[in-house]
Amino acid sequence: MNKVKISCILATAIMINGSLVFADTNVKGDVKSNKTVIVTAKAENDNKVSKNISKEVSKVVTFKDKNLEKCIRDEIDKAQGDIYFNELQEITELNLRNKNITNIEGIENLHKLKVLNLGKNRMADFSPIKDLTNLTNLYLYDDGIKNIDFVKNLKRLKSLLIAKNKVSDLSPLQNLYSLKYLTLSDNNIKSIAPISKLPKLEVLMINKNNISNIDELKSLVTLTDVNLDENNLTSINAVQYLVNLKRLSANKNSIRNIPNLNKLNKLEYLSLKENNIHSIGGLSALYNLKKLYLDQNEISNIQALKGLTSLTHLGLWQNRVTNISYISNLTNLTNLYLYENQISNIDSLRHLSNLSVLYLDKNNITSINALGKLYNLETLSLSDNNISNINSLRNLNKLDKLDLSDNNVSEDTISHVVSPDVDVTD
């Protein structure tokens, strides 16, 4: 009885190790005999595995595309002779950008490849990529891609760029749960629903598409950086839920209103240029915002900006602003763009002593006395105003560029007031 029990225990153990399986629990015989059978079977199995591995390692790999083959040879430092499978396992990163490659057959043998750049080539078939399951970074720029089914099983991908292609269907991305960085710029995308449940996504670039609705973004609360430029958006209400957002750009859309963004207390960069925005009240509590660009809109009231004291860069050119008193306490400003508005009084700028770049072109300004103590100014543009007296610029010793064109200032006046080292446009 003991012999039978011992024999069964051995059989079970071998089954767990995957070398040999005994289905009959009534195995009989002496221990020594069964041990011999088990050891012999395991040895035979190991021998088969060893032969298979040896065969795989010594396999010759060919590449139909000579440009691809050259790149591979450069990587393994082998100018001539057969290329063996095991040699390809040395390659973990491969930059094939703009190498005139039309066929990537053979690349599927690079099992250790983690980073692949195939940008600006012209392959008809991308399917070999599907076997590169260790890829973490994949870059496909301007390759004429329409279908991205080949990425759907690349579960280790953390960074994926498929830009300037012809992609419209994002469903192959819906289960790529490791993705952190996703760039889909310049495609034919209308719906972003398939990417709405990617739990680790931090950076999303979907500019230059045909997207009109971004409600699906609400669930992507891990996002820190989003680019929505050049789409068909009329609303960006969904972004108010992205509490980890640090950067947001939605230039060149048809946005009319800014939602209440008060919960976005990590936001540091916001660009909403070239929209149809009238009201900016939703920005009033963005106290950590450093760079704000609202150029080319329909804004007249900027009262909401008065508490944004962390701002270093502010762009408001081509709007309808008349009163700039609300920015008088934004003393961290270094760059201020106010050209082409309806401003006549700039007295509120006198305390912005950190300004180094100031654009006030195409307004109704007559007096620039307020600029006299802005000693850090390096670039000052005042073209197309009604200025005649520039004495206040006499002590701006850091001034490097000055534009006074289309004003009432003579060359003689400029030469007496402004240092000859300054690059003057008059």
Tokens standing for 273?
């240029």
* Bridge partner residues of 292 (DSSP): 270, 314
Which residue positions in the chain have pLDDT lower than 70?
1-56
Please report the sign of the dihedral spanned by the C-alpha atoms of residue 86, residue 121, residue 154, residue 146: negative
CA 112 to chain CA centroid, Å, is 25
Residue at 336: amino acid letter: L
Q: Tokens 């066929």 map to which residue?
A: 103
Q: Which of 370, 365, 291 is nearest to 334 (CA)?
A: 291
**E strands within 104-172?**
115-117, 137-141, 159-163
CA 417 to chain centre: 47
Angle between helices 31-57 and 2-17 (to 10 degrees): 10
Angstrom CA distances, 330 to 127, 299, 305, 310, stand at: 55, 19, 9, 7
The residue extents of the domains of the chain are 2-57
- Could you say which DSSP state residue 305 is in? G
pLDDT in tens, 185-227: 999 999 999 999 999 999 999 999 999 999 999 999 999 999 9
Q: Give the closest residue to 318 by CA, choosing from 297, 346, 334, 291.
A: 297
Q: Are 336 and 314 in contact (CB under 8 A)?
A: yes
Residue 183's alpha-carbon distances to 132, 176, 247, 401, in angstroms, are: 20, 14, 15, 38
pLDDT of residue 15: 36
Q: What is the pLDDT of residue 23?
A: 38
